Structure 1
Amino acid sequence: MNCVYDMIVIGGGPGGISATVEAKMRGLQSVLLIEKGENHSQTIRKFYKDNKRVDKDYKGQVVELKGSVQFSDGSKESTLDYFDSLLDNGEIDTAFNSEVESVKKVGNSFQVVTTKAGYEAKNVIVAIGKMGKPNKPDYPIPPSIKQLVNFNLDKCSQGEKLLIVGGGNSAAEYALELSKTNTVTLNYRRPTFSRLNDINEEQLYAYDGQELLRLRLGVDIKSLENASGKVRVNFTDGNFTVYDRVVYAIGGTTPVDFLKKCGITLDGAGHPIFDENYQTEVPGLYIGGDIAVNSGGSIAMALNHSYHIIEHILGQR
């Protein structure tokens, strides 16, 4: 530990990057961004298909950006380019391929230990996302078909009979994109969508009407079985269908174990406890981005979290 940073940010997504940029622009010169992946924005890189639309806001809930970092709707590629430019122009200190093992407050500073090094900082922001740990179904996935059950699009190929499971925008966009080269069914356990933006919802029903994909709504999945090297999906209505591959897009979960390693107190539901300044019960330890909201997080919300956190840190100086 050669120096004491003014601030360390854990998580290289939009929220983490905006926090470091905002801090540097507002006078906190000694700032470090730590990311366990080999590059920033791992959720976008891993879970977003090429040319996938990236929205600033969630489901039309327009958020007015408060800080210095501005962002507008774009594609996967344009979004990554934008955050590349922020890191380059801001000359941000980064530690990629560094997974945080613990955060502990000792006296007036934090000891941050990673798989590669140890650091010390006056303030720490935890700005990791949820999608790095995707939700999984309650029923077991037979080991013999695990290679045919995915939580992203990495292994999908053309000409497959696919079942996409989920009712959010990621599930909708997976289905719309894959239906161009595959036979696709989108399954959602509720009878109607409640979390889609208007464009995705309109396109889904249009594609369903044109028989470019099939919507299977209002029915849940009971279990999966191996059917001669394919996936038999048993539905709660007593019917079943055999697919080449099943792709789950059912959101992510709060990484409870990691938050505990950072010394963050959780409530009975496993959600982090923090105040109106996004400060946890440990002074100087903040939380922002997806893990600071129970549902409906967005890039705009994450950027504003960063702005308010930096405002509070500067106010404590």
Structure 2
Amino acid sequence: MKNKIYDIVIIGGGPGGIGCAIESAAHKIGEILLIEKTDNHSNTIRKFYKDNKRVDKDYKGQVITLQGNVDFFDGTKETTLDYFNDLLDNEKIDSIFNTEVEKIIRNQETDLLEVHTSKGLIQTKNAIIAIGKMGKPNKPDYKIPPSIKSQVGFNLDRCSSNEKILVVGGGNSAAEYAYHLADQKNNVTLVYRKVTFTRLNDLNEDILNKYNGEEKLRLRMNTDIESVENEEGKAKVTFTDGYSVIYDRIIYAIGGTTPVDFLKNCAVDYDEDLKPIFDEHQETSAKDVYVAGDIAFASGGSIAIALNHGYNIVNNILRKRGNIFAFTENVLE
């Protein structure tokens, strides 16, 4: 890889990265490489989505027109992964997995971008940062005692049944965790700091209200957590309303954070909210370095929008080349 020069190196194998890869291949842009730090693409979907989770094209009612060559559609976790598998296999995208990217710097002599990875140096003309935020989930401000960290999670990996569980958060992941755990015969409480839900799709809100009304789970609204302590090996949670409750397990679903240190290492400027700054073509302050997918969203965003990022980025690269075929849609055979 050290002596090879790529036209595009894509960092991150989620929907944004996959969209960039497929658009690059569709427009025959040259040598393309997709780098993923885990052992497969779409790690966030694999790890944080429960089995059979509904995956909507129009996330939270956002009606998105797909601009490029990926004909994404409503489905489930499983059908979405299968579809992305087929796209990557059919286009024979050159990929490397289990590879961490440390930084991107420009070589002033060659004017190429150097992508420094755990497996060596990669040279490229363009780089796309398509890493997610859920891979680095938000954590609470208060301290979690080390002695009970095994009972605290950010997904459903260690959950079973017949436990008393507190789910923290007000988004779709929190809702789905809560009613899925309730279906597994757990005693579930969902706590949310606001009076009403503001980020749920209609289906998840309806299910939560139905389960709450049927006492399958409990909604604890307009309440935050003040502290978590170890009480005889379990999590004692003290709420801001003064009540304390002991739980077998706590699951946090409070979003993800932008990896600011990585942006610094790539010379990408960011704003006061620690979000990368980029133009209408997704290009950052670092020339020929783009952002796509979750990292480019101020809050939650749809897979369809992430896929459109790939279309916009590739067309901008073609535009810079003076390619008259920029803006061509649906060129995959």
Shorter-chain TM-score bucket reads: over 0.9
| Runs of at least 5 residues in structure 1 that lack an aligned partner in the other structure | none
Alignment partner of 1:79 is 2:80 = yes
Amino acid across the alignment from 1:151: F
Aligned equivalent of 2:285? 281
Matched residue pairs, number?
A: 317
Once the two structures are aligned, what percentage of the paired residues are identical?
60
Aligned equivalent of 2:170? 167
Aligned equivalent of 1:240? 244
Alignment partner of 1:254 is 2:258 = yes
Give yes or no for contact 2:137–2:254 (8 Å, CA) kept in 1: yes
Measured against aligned partners, the alpha-carbon deviations of 1:86-144 in whole angstroms (never above 9, x if no partner) come to 11000000011110011111142101110012111110000001000000011100111
Q: Shift in Å at residue 267 of structure 1?
A: 1.9
Q: Shift in Å at residue 2 of structure 1?
A: 2.5
* Structure 2 residue matching 1:122: 3-state secondary structure: strand
* Structure 1 residue matching 2:183: 3-state secondary structure: coil
Alignment partner of 1:214 is 2:218 = yes
Amino acid across the alignment from 2:173: S
Aligned equivalent of 1:227? 231
Alignment partner of 1:32 is 2:36 = no
Give yes or no for contact 2:19–2:309 (8 Å, CA) kept in 1: no
Amino acid across the alignment from 2:155: N
1:300 to 276, 300, 304: 304
Give yes or no for contact 2:15–2:306 (8 Å, CA) kept in 1: yes
Spell out the pairing of 1:41-190 with structure 2 (5 A cutoff).
41-107=42-108, 108-181=111-184, 182-190=186-194
Q: Shift in Å at residue 3 of structure 1?
A: 1.6
Aligned equivalent of 2:331? none
Give yes or no for contact 2:114–2:121 (8 Å, CA) kept in 1: yes
Amino acid across the alignment from 2:256: G
CA distance in 2, matches of 1:255, 1:69: 27
Aligned equivalent of 2:329? none
Q: Shift in Å at residue 290 of structure 1?
A: 1.1
CA distance in 1, matches of 2:263, 2:287: 15
CA distance in 2, matches of 1:143, 1:3: 46
Amino acid across the alignment from 1:88: D
Q: Shift in Å at residue 296 of structure 1?
A: 2.4
Q: Shift in Å at residue 53 of structure 1?
A: 1.5
Amino acid across the alignment from 2:199: R
CA distance in 2, matches of 1:105, 1:56: 36
CA distance in 2, matches of 1:237, 1:86: 50
Amino acid across the alignment from 1:22: E
TM-score by length of 2: 0.93
* Structure 2 residue matching 1:179: 3-state secondary structure: helix
Aligned equivalent of 1:18? 19
Measured against aligned partners, the alpha-carbon deviations of 1:248-293 in whole angstroms (never above 9, x if no partner) come to 0000010111111122112222111111111011221101111112
**What is the RMSD of the two structures over their aligned residues, measured on CA atoms?**
0.9
Amino acid across the alignment from 1:225: E
CA distance in 1, matches of 2:285, 2:266: 12
Q: Shift in Å at residue 154 of structure 1?
A: 0.5
* Structure 1 residue matching 2:312: 3-state secondary structure: helix
Amino acid across the alignment from 2:12: G
Single out whichever of 187-196 and 274-283 deviates more from structure 2: 274-283
| Runs of at least 5 residues in structure 2 that lack an aligned partner in the other structure | 322-333
CA distance in 2, matches of 1:263, 1:251: 25
Q: Shift in Å at residue 311 of structure 1?
A: 0.7
* Structure 2 residue matching 1:218: 3-state secondary structure: coil
CA distance in 2, matches of 1:201, 1:305: 29
TM-score by length of 1: 0.98
Aligned equivalent of 1:199? 203
Amino acid across the alignment from 1:153: L
* Structure 1 residue matching 2:173: 3-state secondary structure: helix
CA distance in 2, matches of 1:268, 1:217: 30
Amino acid across the alignment from 1:105: R
CA distance in 2, matches of 1:215, 1:142: 25
Q: Shift in Å at residue 312 of structure 1?
A: 0.3
CA distance in 1, matches of 2:183, 2:291: 40
Aligned equivalent of 2:327? none
Measured against aligned partners, the alpha-carbon deviations of 1:195-228 in whole angstroms (never above 9, x if no partner) come to 0000000110011001111100011110001111
